[in-house]
Structure 1
């Protein structure tokens, strides 16, 4: 039986997002501990997303856009513009700093932004690995096209496909487009699975879900649509233990989180080359 969870709208450095995970009724879905929907938003010239340098530990971030662009920069020296369909995967491990801004060309004109950002918790044995970063273009990602269903695998394993992104626990993240009258059986029935409706409307059994709905699916459920719809399916192996979360830090140790807070306050995290003039205070 499907279960609907409602997100809450918050402000992130002047940009409104809908926060879906963590949720009071469901802290994690597989390894996913955090899910934000950024937008849809339209900005005038000179405005837009401008997230200052901030730290992470104990997780990997997954950024996936359907519209617009974001300029990712991090303390490893990576400087990459994320475009729709591409995937940015940043492994924080023992500690990384990054910013999310826009190029001059984007900032200098009217523009839009729409996309998802996830945090994927690292298993305890990988929580303190060296930070890393990978970026893959949409044409490098596996695709499944059958009977009016068009699926792109962003990360993990599903439907006999494997993404080039290195993950650290069993999981999946799928972008699925439905044509009118098409049906798609949810992937990986032995794992947890949630559905997020980006556009349009879908049916799960007799229940109807629309844009912005986040739905937990049971193992045997199928999803169908009477018209065009676009959705994200995400999930993975259920975790028996949930890590602690505070601000941008994820860890199985509260002491480790306290250490990260102190390290950030005392500016012991590394700088971002070329973007070290601003600092996000610890809340």
Structure 2
């Protein structure tokens, strides 16, 4: 009932700030429209180290970034002039479209010192018809995100449609994204009606078809089959998937259906044609060295800049 199990790999975002990177993966670039997934934290730092976490202004095209916190808080600033603190249970949904820059700042030392900061970052690729849309940003409050409970099961719909739940989070293609908490012994399965589905184990221990899976593993389910997930202990899962969009190219923070559009984005950032956030423009992440090579050389592109 599993096509693949992806083990998260360590990735360094800045000095002293490591995350678990789940997508993209060499054997699975996307899951539905989801093309990127990071799990950060729990983070515990002394106050004098907080500045090491900040992700400076950096650009995106061709995708929506989705930020969801289990604990702590993060301040988002972007080139639209938006400044938004995100807290647990909220969703920051930023659609880059033809181009946007943003930063992620960690400005609450108390949550870091207490080891409370923990978050999931995903990128959702845009359909071709929406890749050049005007950029936009929206914060969604917990009361806008429906919750369902049953015996041993709690879940929040972050985006899309699942189990008869729907919210007003604006998406551009059919998908689902759920935060699920299972008590020991609870049984659960992914929503039906989507060709690509997966479950990321953020905490706990679960069993599928007699095999056990723990934190940092993304379970990619076989299309057409409906697996049963059994919680062996209290567990937190992120369920995600949807309709595939077709091939996408990803280089650093840029996603597109066209290679030439990636090249244009590189030039635009280097030339300053993607505006910096007006309230966070004193520094930025420069374009990394272009280590791409013709197919077959085996030299990878630079790692995506995240948090998203």
- Name the TM-score, length of structure 2 as normaliser: 0.88
1:196-211 matches, within 5 Å, as: 196-211=200-215
Question: Which residue, 20, 43, 49 being the options, matches 2:45?
Answer: 43
**CA-to-aligned-CA distance 1:39-70 (integer Å, 9 cap, x gap):** 22211113232000000000000011111111
Q: 1:16 aligns with which of 11, 15, 18?
A: 18
Please tell me whether the aligned partners of residues 173 and 232 of structure 1 are also in contact (alpha carbons under 8 angstroms).
Answer: yes
- Higher strand residue share: 1
Equivalent residue runs for 1:25-36 within 5 Å? 25-36=27-38
CA distance in 1, matches of 2:259, 2:122: 22
Structure 2: stretches of 5+ with no match in the other structure = 289-308
Question: What is the CA-CA distance between 1:226 and the residue it aligns to?
Answer: 2.9
How far, CA to CA, are the matches of 2:266 and 2:258 in structure 1? 13
Asked if the contact 2:69–2:90 (Cα under 8 Å) also holds between the matched residues in 1, the reply is yes
Q: Please name the residue that 1:275 is paired with.
A: 280
Aligned Cα root-mean-square deviation (Å): 1.4
8 Å CA contact retained: 1:46, 1:108: no
The CA distance in 2 between the partners of 1:260 and 1:276, in whole Å, is 19
**Distance in 2 of aligned mates of 1:221 and 1:109:** 37
Could you tell me which of 221, 224, 239 is aligned with 2:227? 221
Q: 1:66·1:84 contact (CA, 8 Å) conserved in 2?
A: yes
Q: How does 1:13-92 map to 2 (within 5 A)?
A: 13-14=14-15, 15-48=17-50, 49-92=53-96
What are the Cα deviations for residues 88-138 of structure 1, in whole angstroms up to 9, with x where unaligned?
Answer: 1000000000000022x4379724321110010000000000100011122
Q: Equivalents in 2 of 1:199, 1:116: separation in Å?
A: 12
Q: What do residues 183-228 of structure 1 show as CA deviations (whole Å, max 9, x unaligned)?
A: 1121124321111111110111201111111111233111111321
**Mapping 1:31-180, distance limit 5 Å:** 31-48=33-50, 49-103=53-107, 105-106=108-109, 110-112=113-115, 113-180=117-184
Q: Report the alpha carbon displacement of residue 169 of structure 1 after superposing the two structures with TM.
A: 0.4
Contact 1:44 1:111 in 2 (8 A): no
Q: Runs of 5+ in structure 1 lacking a partner? A: none
* Number of residues of Structure 1 aligned to a counterpart in Structure 2: 281
